[in-house]
Amino acid sequence: MPEELLRERFGLRSFRPGQREVIDGLLDGRPMLAVFPTGGGKSLCYQLPALMLEGLTLVVSPLIALMKDQVEGLAARGIAAARLDSTLDRGGYEAVMDALEQGTMRLLFVAPERLANEGFRRRLGRLRIAMVAVDEAHCISEWGHNFRPDYLKLARTCRELGVSRVLALTATATPSVAGDIRREFGIAEGDQVQLSFHRPNLDLRVAAVAAARRDEHLLGRLREVGGPVVVYVTLQHTAERVATFLKRNGLAAQAYHAGLPDEFRAAAQEGFMAGNTRIIVATIAFGMGIDKADIRAVFHYNLPKSLENYTQETGRAGRDGEPSVCELLACGDDLVTLENFIYGDTPTPRAVRNLVDHVLRLGDEFDVSPYELSVVNDIRPLVVGTLLTYLELEGVIEATRPFHATFQVRLLRELDRVLAGYDPARRDFLRRIFAAAREGRSWTTFDLAAVALETGEDRMRIATALGHLEEAGDVILKRMGRRQGYRMKRDAVDIGAIASRLDERFRRREEADLRRLGQVVALATHDGCLTRFVARHFGEDLGAGCGHCERCRGVAPEPLPRRVPEAVRGDELAMVQALRGEGHAALASPRQLARFLCGITSPAATRARLTRHDAFGLLERLPFEDVLAQAETLI
């Protein structure tokens, strides 16, 4: 039966290694973990059994581009699949939910954040869910390289939905991360299927290159290598600069990073996929879900932040099985920037305490804006999300529903003509909420809390009514100010104890991230087989050298070049002291000041427009710990 489906619905003659073993386990009703390197065929492991099982297969993925591509590919094969993501309007959402309740849908793709909606979870609970597939499953582990707090709740959600058949999928799980995944989803050790991380067609190389020589080294290597190439960099402005340098030297190159407008990113990606652009110079924003088989080389212009990132990114080369080059341009100067990113994500103990204290005093039912919490407590938005998730896992709060606090409405015809089509009670309701809104020249602004207070109506009813007007074609609607609702689950809590535990978790994460960065340096300076070094990191022993990497060919490692940073000058110290004298609240603690001097943005400093200050990034050449020690003497 699986072989017939493989041929008839997917057009394939045989399974790849590991696929049949995973599929058989799922069809037997067991939860499975598939650790398949990039390009190993993970998606078939849930797509095929989804056609054989009675009920819905729920696929959790953080990647909108991947969801879109998979849904389109499945539709082309006549397989009923849909996605729920932020690009869908209310009408599209309801159409998908109607199809689910009618039982006509085989696969549904959602982001993990979608499960923070209590109403959506209730609707899922009414469906027959045969299987849950969790893509990028390493995100559920605090020690995974791409930690996503909403992933931490997935195992609990599966239990609440009564789903035991779970497929966890990842390309990069170390033994400890794989152990976390198995424990969370109740997967037996024998039901972990792991393929080899050894790709015989990939030629791993390391070039110890001083920062001043990197551009010319890269240019020379690109002229030697033919075919499509991806160059990975750390910073957005580096992507722009390097792409411009390559274009000036006659190479077809484009920059790709999250700071570009959507249409620019789409054009760069399409040009690369179509072969019009040979070289993409990108941050890690590029590549997830990109399926281009003939990438002939991947260059890391900067050190990656972990071996997991390195493996994912090099894994995009040579998916067609043809020889491909993966070269790391290793420079010790990159460490300061990468370490500063790590330190910048760690909130101060006081900030953690303030956020916990604030949230737990909001009442039995409350809602918060992650953006506002970020600015007020000077904690990055993703870290705020992590803190709130930790409070959920502590059993203190529970997510109810996300919503928008503000709507802007533009009427496409006169209000009286819009209201004419409704019964008297509905007309009265709509007229009252429009009267309570703030009318502008072109747009009417609904502050839902204010409109609800003035009219005595429920906020959700107001939001739903505006959505219906949008679906009817009567208005254009803009939604702003996303908030997340919660309810308290425990009456008496020790705020100090909870804050202390959460702070300790962030300290451990910081230490783990620094260790991961150290492993990249260890790879760059390793005197043995590079392929074997990477495979061992993921729990695989090749037994001997691969025979085709640079070290196996006899190329010896070189020390990483690194400039010796000059000490803090007297004029710089005077500038820092003058900055302290200005009394900025956003720079009140030593850690806040150190982040600022290292050029690390923070919510409070950004809101105070301090990133324009002459002292911002003044000491970015120095290690964060040295700058922090200096800051502690001043505060």
Residue with tokens 């690009």: 87
Alpha carbon 606 to its chain centroid, in Å, reads 22
Q: What is the pLDDT of residue 353?
A: 96
What are the beta bridge partners of residue 539?
none
What are the beta bridge partners of residue 479?
407
Q: How far apart are CA 113 and CA 483, in angstroms?
A: 13
CA atoms within 13 Å, Cβ hemisphere of 185: 34
What are the beta bridge partners of residue 406?
447, 480
Residue 241 CB-density burial (10 A; 0-12 exposed, 13-18 middle, 19+ buried): middle
Nearest to 475 by CA among 524, 421, 537, 408: 408
User: Between vectors from CA 320 to CA 317 and to CA 322, what angle results, nearest 5°?
Assistant: 80
Q: Which parts of 110-261 fold into alpha helices (H)? A: 118-125, 154-161, 175-185, 214-224, 236-248
Nearest to 531 by CA among 150, 200, 162, 80: 200
* Sign of the Cα pseudo-torsion (409, 414, 417, 420, in order): positive
DSSP for 173-211? Answer: --HHHHHHHHHHHT--GGGEEE-----TTEEEEEEE--G
Domain residue limits, the chain: 2-194, 397-488, 570-634
Residue 167 CB-density burial (10 A; 0-12 exposed, 13-18 middle, 19+ buried): buried
In 353-411, beta strands by DSSP E = 365-368, 397-411
pLDDT band at 290 (very low <50, low <70, confident <90, very high): low
Q: How far apart are CA 184 and CA 198, in angstroms?
A: 28
Nearest to 584 by CA among 572, 573, 596, 574: 596
> Which tens digit of pLDDT belongs to each residue from 566-609?
889 999 999 999 999 999 999 999 999 999 999 888 898 998 99
Give percent of the chain with pLDDT exceeding 90. 66
Residue 417 CB-density burial (10 A; 0-12 exposed, 13-18 middle, 19+ buried): exposed
> Which tens digit of pLDDT belongs to each residue from 25-54?
999 999 999 999 877 789 999 999 999 999
Tell me which amino acid residue 191 is: D
Mean pLDDT across 221-231: 96
β-pair type (229-232, 279-282) = parallel
- This prediction has a pTM of 0.84
> Which tens digit of pLDDT belongs to each residue from 64-90?
777 888 888 888 888 999 998 877 776
Nearest to 230 by CA among 259, 249, 260, 257: 257
Tokens standing for 509? 């994460």
Contacts of 578 (CB under 8 A, 6+ apart): none
Contact yes or no for 302/234 (Cβ under 8 A)? yes
Give percent of the chain with pLDDT exceeding 70. 98
Tokens standing for 599? 């050029």
Tokens standing for 500? 């202390």
* pLDDT > 90? residue 564: no
Q: What is the pLDDT of residue 63?
A: 76
2-194 CATH choice from 3.30.420.40, 1.10.1040.10, 3.40.50.300, 1.10.10.10: 3.40.50.300
Tell me which amino acid residue 349 is: P
Q: How far apart are CA 212 and CA 364, in angstroms?
A: 58
